[in-house]
Amino acid sequence: MPITKETPLVIPAKAEKTLPHTWLSELVVNAPNASDGYMSLKLTAFDSDSDEDPNPENSEMLHLDFWEVVTNVPEAAAAMQSVFDAIPAIESYYKEGILEEVPVEEDVEEEAGD
């Protein structure tokens, strides 16, 4: 049975928004071999002219068979080839950031006191 509130809760009307762009917020490729694999994309609608970050609530998930996409979508095949071509450079970049271990230095020479 409805009970009348003394102070009604008022939810302000939200201004209408137009989100004309797509932000690729997630791209996952899982390809264990040359015949099996999947890819998933999270596409988030957003407005690049606004200061607001893409809102995950406005996302759509696409789940696809990876090799099927590569075979049937020439743009996807070309994009994946670009990714493969970039792997050595990405690997080098990653390795440059790996910290290297060195032994603790031997007792350093005493500086002359002044």
Partner 1 sequence: MSKKRPVINYYFMVCEALHEKRTKPLYNTVIRRIKECGDNFYLLGGFEPIDELPVIKVCDFDDYHSCVEKIESVFKKDWNDADWHIICDDDTFVHTENLNLFISKLSKDNLRIYCSQLYEDSVGIFGGAGILMNDKTFKLIQKFVIENGWKENRHFQSHSDIALSKICGRLNRKLKIANKENDKIRVSNPKTMYSFNHDTMKKSQNLINIKGDLITAHIKDMQYVWTDFYEQECPYQSLENAFCR
Question: Which chain residues interact with partner 1 by CB under 8 A?
Answer: 93, 96-108, 110-111, 113-114
Shortest separation between residue 56's beta carbon and partner 1, angstroms: 12
- Exposed, middle or buried: residue 64 (CB in 10 Å: 0-12, 13-18, 19+)? middle
Shorter beta-carbon distance to partner 1: residue 3 or 112: 112
Q: Which of 62, 73, 63, 65 is nearest to 36 (CA)?
A: 65
Shorter beta-carbon distance to partner 1: residue 63 or 95: 95
Shorter beta-carbon distance to partner 1: residue 49 or 110: 110
Cβ(28)–Cβ(39) under 8 Å? yes
